Structure 1
């Protein structure tokens, strides 16, 4: 009996140690990506201390001024729509508080994300491939037509469809959200490209 108990204890310790190592490795990969993007864009990076002997590891965050705009990159404490789904949130300052729009990939997931669109109507760009792929809600259709040319529409279509991300414009902020964490180079590069696109878009809106 004593041998069986010792075996169970040893097994539990081994499982806990393996889980700890997996958490540590995943956390280190995410921190590395945040350090790289922060260094590239000259941002501050915050790395919270781990808790409960390293079994609880809050995500890092980056923030600062980029291209003359306030920018932050973080992971909210709660998941999407108060679920357990973790999402990464990119926020960029927009010096135009009036424009409101919400973009997400069309389909079941897109309709779920559009539940909080605030009664905004479905906007059609006139580009069939874009309108089929992306669900846009906005009451500022004419302004969207003026700022989103074919090149921008194509870029948004590819980006939002591939990443399953969402873009919200409102209250003087451009907000891009994507399920998951920045845990590898490919995801980091996608966020870097989104940052440049949104800064360009902000300049077009304000022109």
Structure 2
């Protein structure tokens, strides 16, 4: 059916779980497709790999979410970084990401990463041109925050939602963000406030910052 809609540029699919079927392979025939939004969509790994090989280079904007059942989505995000070499915007909402190897996409400017848990591979590349980053994570080590900031040297706008007990490496990493202008921190616990204050004081180039206490966690 999709193959008959050859002029499609944007596709949004919502609430498609693992027990439901959809002809994802036909999307590979859409020559003009540049934007995809998979909202709570489950795909088999082989289907996703084929799709990325078929249309990954065409995509400028990719939004994808699936966090039911504590699903480990590491494979999917890695495929995106490896195959979508012309992305300008990437918006990801998953439960668990393990040992993600960041791969530089020169065109990527906007990156939204919403996860419960994440770890990064030590061989990750720097995202040289990312200027806008939203990083929302429920459970993460101080070093994971620091790694991500280190990998985004040209950040100008940062939205950070987190809870953690120590922030030494993270606050230290902020010193190296030479272009950061706007910083928005969302915290959940009173103990996080001192960490947030320390981070702000390290952000010497920042001219616009906000700290928000979120009582729902």
TM-score with structure 1 setting the length? 0.22
Greater Rg by CA: 1
TM-score with structure 2 setting the length? 0.21
Identify, as 1 or 2, the structure richer in strand.
2
